[in-house]
Amino acid sequence: MNIPFHRPDLPSDFNEIATESIQNGWLTTGKQVELFEHELATFLDVKHVVVVNSCTAALHLGLASQKFAPGSKFLVPNYTFVSTVECGEYIGMIPRLVDSAPDGFNIDLNQVEDMLKRETDIKAILPVHYGGIPVDMNAIFSLADQYNLFVLEDAAHALETVSNAGKVGNTNHGAAFSFYANKNLTTLGEGGAFATNNEVLAQSIKNLSLHGITKDGWKRFDSGAKWEYDIIDLGYKYNMPDMSASFGRWQLKQVNHWQTLRHAIVKQYVNGLKNLDGIRIPSYVPGDGNAWHLFVIQFKNTNWRLSRNEFIDELIKKGIGVSVHYKPIHMLDYYHKKLGYKSDDFPRSKDLFESVISLPLYPSLTQDELEYIISTIHELFEQYSV
């Protein structure tokens, strides 16, 4: 078998996404983007959505919109993808890394509170809903009120996540979503969105996403529209093309169904792997708000005669595509040199990094493929257990 780590869902006929505006030659930001933004806002139960060309862009715009002075700090989990950290550095802010909670993947709120008590100049916090697992947002919002923080959720994995504060995205602060190729929804490989209930913030994100311009191309060149525009801020070029939005609209119609399929796959993984001593598996708790972007198992070193990396090599040899989410920020060369951390400074992230393996999880994973993955892991354990 050859099972990729991710397999995207494509329309059987690309005419399904070649809408009237596209057939008429409108490829960049236009009507499809407007429609996609409305549909996403309905899906997320939020007042405003601005779509852009990546989650990284949405995160950058979220912080840029706040006009924080260079040198101000933001709290960010160490166990994340680099985007969550670099977005603040783009505007001269200083990242303050926080380890994962002792029993989980998401940011440790006790450490967050300690840092807020000890340090000055912390202006924002960027919680990440790792793999779709909801962060305790009630606690984050309460700390934000107390310490006057801007909360920018990295919701790259969290399109369908529901936290204890409600649907992720339905926030008076901001949330950034990713529509990268392997995410629960993709807009032709690249894309992102910023969601907020705050109208002034949404308008500012919209302006900044396209040069700080008062009118986008669609508004200037659509029939009957005027060419005139002005630039009212230093902006960026982060807009989403209509072709991508059209693809995203096609995917969005299926996201609820796909979510049901993801749950079914997760339940089978959990049942199929629960009696295996060599790995720790996530628990499946119906209604816990997890979007199940990732299914991450943890390799228990002491139970095997091979290392986690050798185990990954064995899976790959058997045709199973897997991944590791993530190499923690403090162990990446640039940050290691820049921030001077030692590998043991974030013990929980280090432990996660050395043990995790993300298994294939996507709607088109077949029953045969799923059973093959589960039985292969069992066979490897029989072969290599201590």
Q: Which of 19, 29, 32, 56 binds ligand PLP (CB under 6 A)?
A: 56
How far is the CA of 228 from the CAs of 29, 216, 287, in angstroms? 17, 10, 50
Contact of 312 with 320, CB cutoff 8 Å: no
- Indicate the residue among 80 and 111 with the shorter CB distance to ligand PLP: 80
- Indicate the residue among 49 and 128 with the shorter CB distance to ligand PLP: 128
Contact of 322 with 6, CB cutoff 8 Å: no
Q: CA 45, 49, 53, 55 torsion: positive or negative?
A: negative
Q: Which of 154, 160, 216, 242 binds ligand PLP (CB under 6 A)?
A: 154
| Residue 360 CB partners (closer than 8 Å, separation 6+) | 3, 4, 5, 6, 7, 295, 320, 321, 322, 369, 373
User: Beta-carbon neighbour count of residue 45 at 10 Å?
Assistant: 14
Q: Where would I find the H helices in 159-198?
A: none
The tokens describing 5, both together, are 């780590």
- Minimum CB separation of residue 323 from ligand PLP in Å reads 10
Stretch that binds ligand PLP, among 49-57, 145-153, 342-350, 370-378 (CB under 6 A): 49-57
Length, in residues, of the chain: 386
- Minimum CB separation of residue 188 from ligand PLP in Å reads 12
- Minimum CB separation of residue 86 from ligand PLP in Å reads 10
- Minimum CB separation of residue 230 from ligand PLP in Å reads 29
Site string for ligand PLP, 113-142 (x = CB under 6 A): ---------------x--------------
Q: Which of 132, 192, 248, 363 binds ligand PLP (CB under 6 A)?
A: 192
- Indicate the residue among 80 and 161 with the shorter CB distance to ligand PLP: 80
Please state whether the peptide bond connecting residue 147 to the residue before it is cis, i.e. omega within 30 degrees of 0: no
- Minimum CB separation of residue 310 from ligand PLP in Å reads 26
Does 75 engage in binding with ligand PLP (CB under 6 A)? no
- Indicate the residue among 150 and 180 with the shorter CB distance to ligand PLP: 180
Contact of 243 with 28, CB cutoff 8 Å: no
Does 83 engage in binding with ligand PLP (CB under 6 A)? yes
Does 100 engage in binding with ligand PLP (CB under 6 A)? no
Q: How far apart are CA 300 and CA 283, in angstroms?
A: 16
Alpha carbon distance, N-terminus to C-terminus of the chain: 27
Contact of 29 with 240, CB cutoff 8 Å: yes
Does 78 engage in binding with ligand PLP (CB under 6 A)? no
Does 54 engage in binding with ligand PLP (CB under 6 A)? yes
Contact residues for ligand PLP, defined by CB under 6 A: 54-56, 80-81, 83-84, 128, 154, 156-157, 178, 180, 192
